[in-house]
Structure 1
Amino acid sequence: MNDQRWWVDCGDPFGRDRSVTVLVEEDQVLVVAPPGGTAVLSAQQTHRLHRTLGTASDAAAETGDPRG
């Protein structure tokens, strides 16, 4: 497993601080929602998630598909 991971701050529907985790595993990008499965993001947090997903996608593409 690749150690590339990022966190984007967000909230949950009850106003508690949470985060969305973005991981790169081989040639795949994994997005892990906070407990309860709902992330509430501000416009700024949405932009940060967008940038983070782009960075993770680039990292996954560099890895290539190890299965051929």
Structure 2
Amino acid sequence: MIATEHVSDMEQLGSFIYRLCSGKETYRLRRRGISRREAGNCHRIRHFENTFVVETVICQKS
């Protein structure tokens, strides 16, 4: 995923998103395919979203 733009009016995204993101920096995300050859330095972050663990991988293009 790639961050595309800052969202200033979260009410337009619905009440669920508004409650989760109110008071936080919020950005729109867009899917972006990245091939393994393009992926350079990658960092894996494991965090709790709710009652389950989510792994986020952040890679710098080489």
- What TM-score do you get using the length of structure 1 for normalisation? 0.25
| Bigger share in helix | 1
| Bigger share in strand | 2
Q: More relative contact order in 1 or in 2 (CA 8 Å, sep 6+)?
A: 1
- What TM-score do you get using the length of structure 2 for normalisation? 0.27
Larger Rg: 2
